[in-house]
Amino acid sequence: MEPTLLRGKPVVQEMEATLSERVKKLFLKGTKPCLATILVGNDPASTTYVRMKARACERNQLESRQIHLPETTDTAALIDVIKNLNIDPGVHGILLQHPVPRHIEERAAFEAIVPEKDVDGVTSWGFGRMSFGLSSYHSCTPEAVMNILDYYEIPIKRKRAVVLGRSPILGKPVSMLLLNRDATVITCHSHTQHIDEIVRQADILVAAVGKNKFVQGSWVKPGAVIIDAGYSENTGDVDYAACLDVVSAITPVPGGVGPVTIANLLRNTVVAAEQTLR
């Protein structure tokens, strides 16, 4: 039996259809949702991501304000830029493109974003509320994982989920979201021993390690569902071809998680704009 390809496009189309009506209502009230994107340096992948987000904003009639800072920008200067965006009433959401150059204290920069404009869910405040199931902007890629599972009606409750990766904006939050949906979650990282044996237990596998074709077909439990959140030169963290004959469902790379991540970013920005009118 052919596995189900968990494509992001239909998920995005459904999300954007709802988004369109909400944006129109904001226009009638004199508000145009605005996402400010900060890019530090000239990393090719980051530049591509920022461009994709700008195109998505244009397609959905959001304003995209792009701030491109030189590679030499230090932490203090970056935080000053963020603080100015925090107090700008015309900006509803702030995205600091990850990763920033190594000399910058990324966590300090993330924490400088005020919660009401943290539409990418990167602050510790947002993470804490999300973990407790309270209202907040969820990290966009973890939320995209959940969107895909829900759209394709993949059961989560009582399933064993294995998350590969523990980054504060992907691995950790997606583990919390799955846990809050009553999955039994194992989070693996660079110090985890016998990862292949652990992966083989997974009903749902979320790959988020940033290592090209890290997961081998022999690691995967027959009938498992794989959500590949990695991306590197049009391939993900999973050896797609080797896993295709084993799984029941799998996301393609590209065309899986990435587009849904951007749709979440736009939706959060629209929600932030709506909040300013209440």
Q: What pLDDT score was predicted for residue 235?
A: 85
> Catalytic: 182?
no
8 Å CB contact between 171 and 177: no
CATH of the domain at 243: 3.40.50.720
Structure tokens at 61: 């009639």
For the residues of 24-35, what is the DSSP string, one character each?
HHHHHTT---EE
Same domain, 97 and 181: no
Do 161 and 101 lie in a common domain?
A: no
Residues 144 and 74 in one domain: no
Q: Domain of 174?
A: 140-258
List the beta bridge partners of residue 227.
206
Residue 145 sits in the same domain as residue 254: yes
Answer yes or no: is 97 within a domain.
yes
User: Are 102 and 171 in the same domain?
Assistant: no
Quick one: 167 and 202 in the same domain? yes
Asked whether residue 245 is assigned to any structural domain, the reply reads yes
* Contact call for residues 81 and 52 (beta carbons, < 8 A): no
Q: Considering the domain boundaries, does residue 14 fall inside one? A: no
- Residue 10 placed within a domain: no
148 & 106 share domain: no
What per-residue confidence (pLDDT) applies to 48?
A: 87
Say whether both 144 and 86 belong to one domain.
no
Has residue 132 been placed in a domain?
no
Average pLDDT of span 249-261: 95
Whether 97 is catalytic is yes
pLDDT given at position 4: 95
Q: What percentage of the chain exceeds 70 in pLDDT? A: 100
CATH number of the domain enclosing 66: 3.40.50.10860
Two tokens, residue 271: 């929600």
What is the pLDDT confidence band of residue 1, given thresholds at 50, 70 and 90?
confident
**How many Cα atoms within 13 Å fall on the side-chain side of residue 201?**
15
3-state secondary structure of 163: strand
Select which of 9, 13, 43, 53 is catalytic: 53
What type of residue is 274?
Answer: E
Q: Is 83 a catalytic residue?
A: no
Chosen domain end from 51, 81, 115: 115
Task: Single out the residue in 100, 115, 130 at which a domain terminates.
Answer: 115
Give the residue ranges of DSSP H helices in the chain.
Answer: 9-28, 44-59, 75-86, 106-111, 124-131, 140-151, 171-180, 195-199, 240-243, 257-275
> What is the pLDDT, as a whole number, of residue 220?
97
Specify the 3-state DSSP secondary structure of 93.
strand
Domain-located, residue 7: no
Q: What is the mean pLDDT of residues 100-106?
A: 95
Average pLDDT across the chain, whole number: 95
**What is the spatial distance between Cα 120 and Cα 80, in angstroms, rounded to a whole number?**
19
Residue 199 within any structural domain of the chain = yes
Residue 233 has what pLDDT?
73
Residues 181 and 235 in one domain: yes
Question: For the whole model, what pTM was predicted?
Answer: 0.95
Whether residue 144 is found in the same domain as residue 251: yes
Q: Please tell me the total count of domains within the chain.
A: 2
Identified catalytic residue from 118, 120, 228, 239: 120
175 and 109 in one domain? no
Is residue 22 pLDDT above 90, yes or no? yes
Domain membership of residue 103 (yes or no) is: yes
Q: Are residues 103 and 190 in the same domain?
A: no
